[in-house]
Amino acid sequence: MLRLAPSIGALALALFAAVAPARAQVGYDRPGGDYSNFTVRNGDPAACAGRCERDGRCRAWSFSFPRTLHVHATCRLKNRVPSRLEDTCCVSGVRGAGVIEPRRGPIEFGIDRLGGDYRSFDLPSDPTGKSCKSACEGERRCRAWTYVRPGYIGASARCYLKSKIPRPRRKPCCISGVVR
């Protein structure tokens, strides 16, 4: 068996980390370094990441969901790579990064489960979607739920409770889940 000296192993690990693709993450902002900003009409952070890829000056980007930092979904392109800060308003990344939605158990970020609604209501903004999930868990009839972030279908966040389990569809507006 071939054994590498500790310094060579550490160097190999550092080299791998340098070439491994960076990942954009939901729940982080990168304040500073802005040279351009624009409204993202479809509200999808992937549009912001794509614009950075096509712009030679862009080194990093930040996307803010509607009604967080601005009324509309906004993309900010950056000419440097500022440190990221945890903030539920945003998705950010560096050039070459895809958009990675959090995967935490039964909560589906960036997923809409269209159809099967038996009740919907406005609720305060909740970037985790847990308030809508709790409402579903509290009703015997509810099998699935979808939380729509503020600014996508109205000024308020909206919770849809479902009596059946619709197929998941990727949509940046939404957070969904299955309860039963």
Q: What kind and span of H or E run contains 120?
A: strand 117-123
Contacts of 56 (CB under 8 A, 6+ apart): none
Q: What is the DSSP letter of 137?
A: H
Whole-number pLDDT of residue 18: 36
- Written as one letter, the residue type at 14 is A
The two three-digit tokens of residue 97, written as one number: 């990064």
Contact at 8 Å (CB) between 89 and 62? no
Tens digit of pLDDT per residue, the chain (180 long)?
444 444 443 333 333 333 334 456 778 999 999 999 999 998 989 899 999 999 999 999 999 999 888 889 999 999 999 999 999 899 999 998 766 665 556 889 889 999 999 999 999 988 889 999 999 999 999 999 999 999 898 889 999 999 999 999 999 899 999 997
**Location of structure tokens 């979904």:** 73
SS3 174: strand
Distance (Å, rounded) from C-alpha 115 to C-alpha 107?
Answer: 18
- In sign, the C-alpha dihedral spanning 120, 122, 107, 102 is positive
Exposure string for 97-113, b = 16+ CB within 10 A, e = fewer = bebebeeeeebbbbbbb
In the chain, ranges of CATH 3.50.4.10 domains: 22-100, 103-178
Class for the domain spanning 103-178: alpha beta
CA distance 122 to 148: 9
Backbone phi, psi, residue 153, to 5° = -125, -5
Query: Are the beta carbons of 21 and 96 closer than 8 angstroms?
Result: yes
| Superfamily of domain 22-100 in the CATH hierarchy | Hepatocyte Growth Factor (3.50.4.10)
